[in-house]
Amino acid sequence: MDIFEHMEAALSGLKSAGNYRVFAELERRNSAFPRATFYEDGGATRDVTVWCSNDYLGMGQNPVVTGRMVEVIGQCGAGAGGTRNISGTNHHHVLLERELADLHAKEAALIFTSGYVSNWAALGTLLARIPGIIVYSDALNHASMIEGIRHARCEKRLFRHNDPAHLRALMAADDPAAPKMVAFESVYSMDGDIAPIREICDVADAFGAITYLDEVHAVGMYGPRGGGVAEREGLMDRITVIEGTLGKAFGVMGGYITGPAVLVDFVRSFASGFIFTTALPPALAAAAAASIRHLKESQSERQAHQAAVAKVRSALDARGIPHKHNPSHIVPVIVGNASKCKWISDVLLNDFGIYVQPINYPTVPVGTERLRITPTPLHSDADIRHLVEALSALWSQCALARAVA
């Protein structure tokens, strides 16, 4: 077999199935979010409004965050200079871990280079190194959790998405003496639905399982201090491990787990994906800590964000543009056809200066292709009008069904 021919064929397969990923080349402009510069193929540039960023609150350009990053680059320079174990642990990493443990009211926290790595390394390590452990994983868990679980090669059971009764049935069928973990998310990224955390914890408790909750899409966004959905619902103490990212609402980069000191020390001591990699740049850790601190105190970003989400939803409703009614900030506008979804996204970009990436299979099931719209406090009323009017025009052109109010 020719190795390179094999690669060409695999890529052609993606292209003919409509699943080949094309990146939009953007330049974010500080203090102008959600405006960005779009680089066309030929190198020409255009202004666009970004409607699909995970910088949900615009913290990536908040002067509290960028100012702190610049300040600490001045103090510490660019890189960390090593792994955490060999000369790379900076004072700012330690401060950030304290901030995170406090955010989730846990004994300890550990930071990783991304949320993906935190899930992969923490789940991979815990599940590989606790003899006989069985993991119960929500069927729609994120790829990073799935990879961590696969890597561990432990016993695993998939429970139907957000279904505590199915979880209970699976747990009841297993050896009562086996150690157990339930792994799930709070806000699911593509549908924006929220887990029944209390009910899942009740089942986990009944079978003596520890719980692992990915709050990546919720940290900074929900709860009086931005601790996530578990904080908002008064359930943080029911969760053994809360995992999050510093790259979405906190606007920077990195991931983390928080939990009991012994568990965090265990992951710190055994996780290859933590040990054998360069520590985050100190300025990035300090900027993330500034973002977390700010969102612990300030409600205004969260309130303005919720208001923007409500405005987008009601404007879509007024035009009959179908979107998933979920209890979160994620607004999935369902197109239900891969080529139409891609076409609408292209026309929005080229004719309307609106950037929303199409979300197609395998990220979502065939027939549920969508535009995943993420309003932010920095989108103006005029931005919202422009978006919804553009969508409405394209809905007519594509002869897509309208929702009935």
Ligand X SMILES: *Cc1c(COP(=O)(O)O)cnc(C)c1O
Of 214 and 369, the one with the shorter C-beta distance to ligand X is: 214
Q: Closest separation between CB of residue 195 and ligand X, Å?
A: 11
- For position 186 contacting ligand X by CB under 6 A, the verdict is no
Of 51, 116, 184, 256, the one binding ligand X by CB under 6 A: 116
Of 37 and 363, the one with the shorter C-beta distance to ligand X is: 363
Q: 15, 106, 180, 248: which one is catalytic?
A: 248
Report 96-115 residues binding ligand X (CB under 6 A): 114-115
> Which region among 201-209, 210-218, 358-366, 390-398 touches ligand X (by CB under 6 A)?
210-218
- For position 214 contacting ligand X by CB under 6 A, the verdict is yes
Of 34, 148, 247, 332, the one binding ligand X by CB under 6 A: 247
Of 65, 216, 334, 371, the one binding ligand X by CB under 6 A: 216
HEC secondary structure over the chain? CCHHHHHHHHHHHHHHCCCCCCCCEEEECCCCCCEEEEECCCCCEEEEEECCCCCCCCHHHCHHHHHHHHHHHHHHCCCCCCEHHHHHCCHHHHHHHHHHHHHCCCCEEEEECCHHHHHHHHHHHHHHHCCCCEEEEECCCCHHHHHHHHHHCCEEEEECCCCHHHHHHHHHCCCCCCCEEEEEECECCCCCCECCHHHHHHHHHHCCCEEEEECCCCCCCCCCCCCCHHHHCCCHHHCCEEEEECCCCCCCCCEEEEECHHHHHHHHHHCHHHHCCECCCHHHHHHHHHHHHHHHHCCHHHHHHHHHHHHHHHHHHHHCCCECCCCCCCEEEECCCHHHHHHHHHHHHHHHCEECCEECCCCCCCCCCEEEECCCCCCCHHHHHHHHHHHHHHHHHCCCCCCCC
- For position 144 contacting ligand X by CB under 6 A, the verdict is yes
- For position 137 contacting ligand X by CB under 6 A, the verdict is no
Total residues contacting ligand X (rule CB under 6 A)? 14
Of 53, 62, 66, 189, the one binding ligand X by CB under 6 A: 189
Of 68, 92, 104, 142, the one binding ligand X by CB under 6 A: 142
Of 243 and 301, the one with the shorter C-beta distance to ligand X is: 243
Of 119 and 328, the one with the shorter C-beta distance to ligand X is: 119
- For position 255 contacting ligand X by CB under 6 A, the verdict is yes
Compute the C-alpha angle 120/126/128, nearest 5°. 90
Report 5-34 residues binding ligand X (CB under 6 A): none
Of 185, 191, 231, 383, the one binding ligand X by CB under 6 A: 185
Q: Closest separation between CB of residue 111 and ligand X, Å?
A: 11
**Angle between the N-to-C axes of helices 63-76 and 282-297, in degrees from 0 to 180, rounded to the nearest 10:** 150
> Which region among 213-221, 285-293, 308-316, 363-371 touches ligand X (by CB under 6 A)?
213-221
Of 247 and 377, the one with the shorter C-beta distance to ligand X is: 247
- For position 149 contacting ligand X by CB under 6 A, the verdict is no
15 phi-psi bin (left φ>0, alpha ψ -120 to 50, beta other) = alpha
Q: Rounded distance, CA 379 to CA 394, Å? A: 21
Of 185 and 301, the one with the shorter C-beta distance to ligand X is: 185
- For position 119 contacting ligand X by CB under 6 A, the verdict is yes
- For position 245 contacting ligand X by CB under 6 A, the verdict is yes
Q: Rounded distance, CA 285 to CA 274, Å? A: 15
**x-or-dash string of contact with ligand X, 300-339, rule CB under 6 A:** ----------------------------------------
- For position 138 contacting ligand X by CB under 6 A, the verdict is no
DSSP lists the bridge partners of residue 108 as: 259
**Angle between the N-to-C axes of helices 381-397 and 338-352, in degrees from 0 to 180, rounded to the nearest 10:** 130
- For position 53 contacting ligand X by CB under 6 A, the verdict is no
Of 257 and 378, the one with the shorter C-beta distance to ligand X is: 257
Of 283 and 391, the one with the shorter C-beta distance to ligand X is: 283
106 is catalytic: no
User: Which residue has tokens 């978006």?
Assistant: 387
The residues carrying an active-site annotation are 248
- Site of interaction with ligand X (CB under 6 A): 114-116, 119, 142, 144, 185, 189, 214, 216-217, 245, 247, 255
